[in-house]
Chain A
Amino acid sequence: MTNPTRPEAWNQFLAIAPYTGLLNMEAVSAADAGCVIALPYREDLIGDPDRGVLHGGAITALMDVCFGFSVYFRIREFVPMATLDLRIDYLRPAQPHSKVYASASCYKLTQELAFVRGHAYDEDPEQPISTGVGIFILTSGKPAFTEQKVVSA
């Protein structure tokens, strides 16, 4: 199964998973080298009401999703997998009212594991909000999704 890298095609995947739908995550771009996903600013995702800054947990979720998609784009297939671990360093708070982007790439792939790194930023990709690494385990159980389901969704 080939995996379309057009954002409109994988936007449907983001909409299928209720949690990514809840956070309104948007596909931005995808290539072999990695992908970019955006999280629109919303007041109900604030972690510090005095400063209007998004909660780190919302950025953790964005990076987790983006990391996972970078594996799909490396493999070019939606294989079942699970996050094994994730480590995120927060370099600075997100700018209130700005859309946050996550960019990730899968830099090593084995039969069972995918190693990913990436970062999150708002206006300037060179000034990251957070950087992170993650490891995914490719499980061989029930397929997570099929292309069929995406088309019919």
Chain B
Amino acid sequence: MSLTETLADIRARADWAALAQALPFARTLGLRVDVRGESFTCVMPFNQKLIGNPALPALHGGAIGGYLECTGILHLLWSTQATAVPKTIDFSIDYLLSGRPQDTYAHVYTVKLGRRVSNLRIEAWQTTPDKPIAVAIMNVLMR
């Protein structure tokens, strides 16, 4: 099944849990999409393989970065009728707190949804949404 067909199938059945399964990289990170009504959350369940510094221990910055970028793409596939994976133009991330060895959650704020370019802000947190561990901004080319 092509991605276009997979996306049509997921949308028809509103089977958002299957969305993260459609992208191999999201599967590798173990991401889980949780949609409740109009609310979209992408979860990165803790896994030992996401650790960057075993001495602390802390999640790898690259794992958090890849997770937030993937979350932005998954959110666009959920919120629009895109039939192909939108292309990231640029991705910028600020790390605010060290990622603890526990589950991480991310919300997406669509700053601008454009016909050609969309701008997203993605916030990751572990204990409460008020204490983000990382914030990312990305520009995406819509296709």
Contacts and interface: CB of A to CB of B under 8 A. Distances in A.
B94 A145 contact: no
Contact of A56 (B52, B91, B98): B91
Interface string B72-95: 010000000000110111111111
Contact of B66 (A60, A83, A89, A142): A60
Contacts of A49: 3, 22-24, 85
B28 A144 contact: no
B50 interface: yes
Nearest to B25: A55
Interface residues of B, number: 43
Given A43-B24, A85-B95, A18 B84 contact: no
A126 interface: no
B60 A20 contact: yes
Interface string B107-134: 0000000000000000000000000000
Contacts, number: 138
Interface centre among A44, A55, A58 (most CB of B within 10 A): A55
A82 interface: yes
Given A50-B85, A86-B61, A93-B87, A56 B50 contact: no
Interface of B: 2-4, 22-29, 48-56, 59-63, 65-67, 69-70, 73, 84-85, 87-95, 98
